Structure 1
Amino acid sequence: MKFAFQLLLHFGLLVFVSCYGGYGYDPLQHVLNIQRFRRSVLNRAGNEDRSAEYSTSHVYMGLQDGLKNVDKISSLPGQPAGPDFDQYSGYVTVDPNHGRALFYYFAESPVNSSTNPLVLWLNGGPGCSSFGYGAMMELGPFRVNADNATLSRNKYAWNNVANVLFLESPAGVGFSYSNTSSDYITGDVQTAKDSYTFLVNWLERFPEYKTRDFYIMGESYAGHYVPQLAQLILQNNKITNQTVINLKGIALGNAYVDEETEMTGMFDYLWTHAIISDEIHEGIISNCNFSEGATITDACHDYQNQTIAAISNIFSYDIYSPLCSPLSNSTPSISGFDPCTANYTLAYLNTRVVQQSLHAKPLQWNSCNHPIGIHWKDRPFTVLPVIQDLMANGIRVWIYSGDTDRSVPVTTSRYSINKLQTSVKIPWYPWMYQGEVGGYVVGYENLTFVTVRGAGHFVPSYQPGRALAVFTSFLEGKLPTNH
């Protein structure tokens, strides 16, 4: 109980700092820590087959006629002149009885939009915004400038090669909302169902994309969202009167997919990157069992507390990046990414004229809704069986990892892949970008693993050129080049 109190106190102090950039705050790890304690006292969500929960024979379908034109964005405030692509945003109702609606932002390709694939992007948390992070800080067409009012063009935007759809999910995240407050206590199963309902309704609104090649991508806790939604799509594609979605592949970035490997991989990463001592690491190895159902001993709790103290206030999502804080001059990271970008985005998206241009409900937008994550209802210990099912059904599966992230580090991804027990087809090799190593790649049977050198948790933020190269290779179904 003492450990639990310390964890909750630690979380309570940090919840008020800026998400993703302030004083080492790590939303994912703090949510998982609180839920681990809760699960050790209450019932553990196991790994039983949950397909019956995800599948559904009835999906709400609303009238979508004319809504596409309503959702078209004429121009975003502060947008640079001469946009050469169409963009849309608005709401799709997923439950009219509860008044539950999910917000989306859609950026079409400047070239070949009529033939390029459709990609759905999901951020994690759980409870964090795919629009504020994915679109405005990572892979979208614009970045918010330091004046909080103008935008600059991201020349490495992923809509250069695909039509990219960003979804804020579940309700309560970003601009998404419900008129029924109980909807804000949710979990994996309901999130997958709502995302599916959103998707089939959105395709009615944009019918030209119904037969397009479709991919789902995401990072962090989207390591749950993406494979679960993909599995639900495959199940519902078998229903004769249901929309058939042309799912081709999924890609997971620095993704939380398995709790045991998340923990062992994180502590090994901290030790090998000189953040925790030999003594702490040895204490973790000797006293901690992170397998499902195992008891976490007092000694293990103590060494985890020592780990928290040793980490101190480095930025969890890029261990070599400076923090955004009043005490610093916001020196850019090694990659050139401004660590205060999240603050600029927060200010921009809370401007009334910006919300109007997005067709968004006027509200206090936040990057993450922490109560949603804290009260998350269902979270299987691992989604590796779901990923195996997708692999067996011929779905292209890529896992990529920025190698300077300590929250869901590259070691975690490698340990998770080892659990899949798939054979190597193309051995590990360096892939090249602009004449130097962009990262490393290994081709497995029905799976590809790629690292991105010098990238943190948000790979497209820190290494936008390398990230676009990986994304393009994923869409083409080709491993990144070694020359």
Structure 2
Amino acid sequence: MAKGLLYSITYFYMLIFLSLSLPTLSKTNIKDLPGFPGPLPFQLETGYVSVGDLKEDQLFYYFVESERNPKEDPLILWLTGGPGCSAFSAVAYEIGPLDFKMVEYNGSLPQLVLNPYSWTKVSNIIFVDQPSGSGFSYTNGSEDYRTNDHKSAKEAHEFLIKWLIDHPQFLSNPLYIGGSSYAGVILPVVVQEISNDIEARQEPILNLKGYILGNPSTDRKFDTGSFVPHAHGMGLISDELYESAKKNCKGNYYEERNIQCSMDLDSVNELLSGLNKASILEPKCVFVSPKPKPGQRRSLHNNSTNFQLPYVLPAFGCRTYRYLLSHYWANDDSVRNALQVRKGTVGVWERCSSIISYVKDIPSTIHYHLNITSRGYRALIYSGDHDFEVPFVGTLAWIRSLNFPIVDDWRSWSVDGQVAGYTRSYANNLTFVTVKGAGHTAPEYNPKECSAMLQRWISHNRM
């Protein structure tokens, strides 16, 4: 017993020593990146912010200044979903200034190109690898990377406060919190905590204006329970099966209440099994998520960047092949040196982490949306309309449950004279937008349309 107590005390003081030995924040201006030809034509900063009770979690970030007017343009903190997917997914595949040149891998470093529809054209964006264990973020504490929704939200909030204290020139910029997918669970909690701080006059006072969410996980009943009516609306299941499921499940497709309901849902799932759930318009391909080789762990003491690929690789041309390029790029030593990744902190970089032990302890964030929007903050909720991971049907359903009056009814919105989707605005500054033909991460599929959507909404223009 005494020996165990001594070990615990020693471990506790070791954590304190590690936390005190590292600065709260470190940062570097990046002028060029391996794989990109010439100097970067935008301002990029990378760094770490220490968060947690003992500053044990080191959250890595990419900060890109607005290419228009960084002193006055909005500041967006962007949270990537997963949970545990790297912020680099947003930087290179969704709303950031970079993209990969889509060529077949030949053993050389994948090449980077510019994204002409980057959201950094009109806004400053902080992309953060969170929670620790995702991307290049790591911990000095327990190596099992245990976390949950509440802790993830708390550390994202702490990250932002510390980052802004170190970057006071952006304190007056309009602040928005943005994210997609599973960030829909974390983000509303972060926004409410910021709002609480503002009401309590907690320094520093942030200039919070609202939030942005794409295909957001929100409530398991609405998110999961919407796939049957969405499948019927898309013409993927028959009228007879839909009517049977509606009758036997009594409209509740989240919980299987009886044998007949279970059989109907099995039939629906069988009909959808051959589809790409993230975007039913695209082919179903192998999902690339390289793992560390047997015996390797991502840890503070293991700096190996060797990784093994899936037995079957996606075909060239598949969207998931683009994800493969990020693994080759981010696991290259020259890239890590350029990004100023701390040596010895991360072994294999994964686009979406497999090492985080994550507890989903927030089943619904609807009440957060109600609280935030009732306080006057703006909200933009958008959905790629061909996503089956979080169908827009469910998103619309929980928005309706807020019982906000409609102020601008359902209508189309256009880009370059073509319908880009549909939109509806509600009281309390809540706007819902569909992106026609887009999948789960809408800007990845329809970058031009989503860029136009953001610019109009940020500028308070009609969609």
Query: After TM superposition, is the score higher than 0.5?
Result: yes
**1:403·1:454 contact (CA, 8 Å) conserved in 2?**
yes
- Distance in 2 separating the partners of 1:220 and 1:194: 19
1:352-389 residue CA offsets vs partner (Å, 9 max, x unmatched): 1112211224421112224536x414122x21111011
- Distance in 2 separating the partners of 1:269 and 1:196: 34
The answer to whether 1:254 aligns with 2:237 is: no
* Cα drift, residue 250 of structure 1: 0.6
**1:324·1:330 contact (CA, 8 Å) conserved in 2?**
no
Match in the other structure for 1:330: 316
State the SS of the aligned residue for 1:390: helix
Match in the other structure for 2:400: 418
1:253-291 residue CA offsets vs partner (Å, 9 max, x unmatched): 111112222123222112222333445434432343687
Matches within 5 A, 1:439-458: 439-446=421-428, 447-458=430-441
Match in the other structure for 2:91: 135
**1:64·1:205 contact (CA, 8 Å) conserved in 2?**
no
1:14-52 residue CA offsets vs partner (Å, 9 max, x unmatched): xxxxxxxxxxxxxxxxxxxxxxxxxxxxxxxxxxxxxxx
* Cα drift, residue 295 of structure 1: 6.8
Letter in 1 for 2:352: C
**2:226·2:253 contact (CA, 8 Å) conserved in 1?**
no
**2:31·2:39 contact (CA, 8 Å) conserved in 1?**
no
**1:100·1:180 contact (CA, 8 Å) conserved in 2?**
yes
Letter in 1 for 2:411: Y
- Distance in 1 separating the partners of 2:460 and 2:269: 40
Cα distance change on mapping 1:98 and 1:281 into 2, 3 Å: farther
* Cα drift, residue 96 of structure 1: 6.6
Q: 1:237 aligns with which of 177, 193, 198?
A: 198
* Cα drift, residue 181 of structure 1: 2.8
**1:188·1:378 contact (CA, 8 Å) conserved in 2?**
yes
- Distance in 2 separating the partners of 1:179 and 1:412: 39
Letter in 2 for 1:202: W
Match in the other structure for 1:345: 326
Cα distance change on mapping 1:238 and 1:424 into 2, 3 Å: closer
- Distance in 1 separating the partners of 2:202 and 2:196: 13
1:107-159 residue CA offsets vs partner (Å, 9 max, x unmatched): 1122311221101111112222222x211111111112234521010000110
Letter in 1 for 2:400: N
Match in the other structure for 2:411: 429
* Cα drift, residue 168 of structure 1: 1.3
Letter in 1 for 2:372: L
- Distance in 2 separating the partners of 1:434 and 1:293: 40
Cα distance change on mapping 1:151 and 1:328 into 2, 3 Å: closer
State the SS of the aligned residue for 1:386: helix
**2:224·2:254 contact (CA, 8 Å) conserved in 1?**
no
Cα distance change on mapping 1:88 and 1:98 into 2, 3 Å: closer
Cα distance change on mapping 1:436 and 1:159 into 2, 3 Å: same
1:159-182 residue CA offsets vs partner (Å, 9 max, x unmatched): 000011111111111111112237
Match in the other structure for 2:152: 191
**2:117·2:451 contact (CA, 8 Å) conserved in 1?**
yes
The answer to whether 1:393 aligns with 2:375 is: yes
**1:92·1:201 contact (CA, 8 Å) conserved in 2?**
yes
State the SS of the aligned residue for 1:255: coil
Match in the other structure for 2:339: 358
Identity of aligned residues (%): 33
State the SS of the aligned residue for 1:420: coil
**2:387·2:438 contact (CA, 8 Å) conserved in 1?**
yes
- Distance in 1 separating the partners of 2:66 and 2:246: 49
Match in the other structure for 1:116: 73
The answer to whether 1:94 aligns with 2:51 is: yes
Cα distance change on mapping 1:266 and 1:114 into 2, 3 Å: same
Cα distance change on mapping 1:415 and 1:390 into 2, 3 Å: same
Match in the other structure for 1:49: none
Match in the other structure for 2:362: 379
Letter in 2 for 1:351: D
**2:225·2:254 contact (CA, 8 Å) conserved in 1?**
no
Gaps of 5+ in 2: 1-19, 287-311
- Distance in 2 separating the partners of 1:293 and 1:254: 18
**1:403·1:453 contact (CA, 8 Å) conserved in 2?**
yes
State the SS of the aligned residue for 2:180: strand
Structure 1 stretches of 4+ with a deviation exceeding 6 A read 289-295
**2:315·2:321 contact (CA, 8 Å) conserved in 1?**
no
Larger radius of gyration: 2
With 456-465 and 288-297 compared, the bigger mean Cα shift is at: 288-297
Cα distance change on mapping 1:433 and 1:386 into 2, 3 Å: same
State the SS of the aligned residue for 2:226: helix
TM-score (norm 1): 0.79
Match in the other structure for 1:41: none
- Distance in 1 separating the partners of 2:280 and 2:214: 17
Match in the other structure for 2:456: 473
**2:225·2:252 contact (CA, 8 Å) conserved in 1?**
no
**2:225·2:253 contact (CA, 8 Å) conserved in 1?**
no
* Cα drift, residue 444 of structure 1: 1.0
Cα distance change on mapping 1:370 and 1:64 into 2, 3 Å: closer
Letter in 2 for 1:269: H
Gaps of 5+ in 1: 1-59, 333-337
Task: Kindly tell me the number of residue pairs found equivalent between the two proteins.
Answer: 409
- Distance in 2 separating the partners of 1:370 and 1:479: 41
- Distance in 2 separating the partners of 1:306 and 1:198: 45
Matches within 5 A, 1:64-79: 67-68=26-27, 71-79=28-36
State the SS of the aligned residue for 2:173: coil
* Cα drift, residue 292 of structure 1: 12
In angstroms, what is the RMSD of aligned CA positions? 2.5
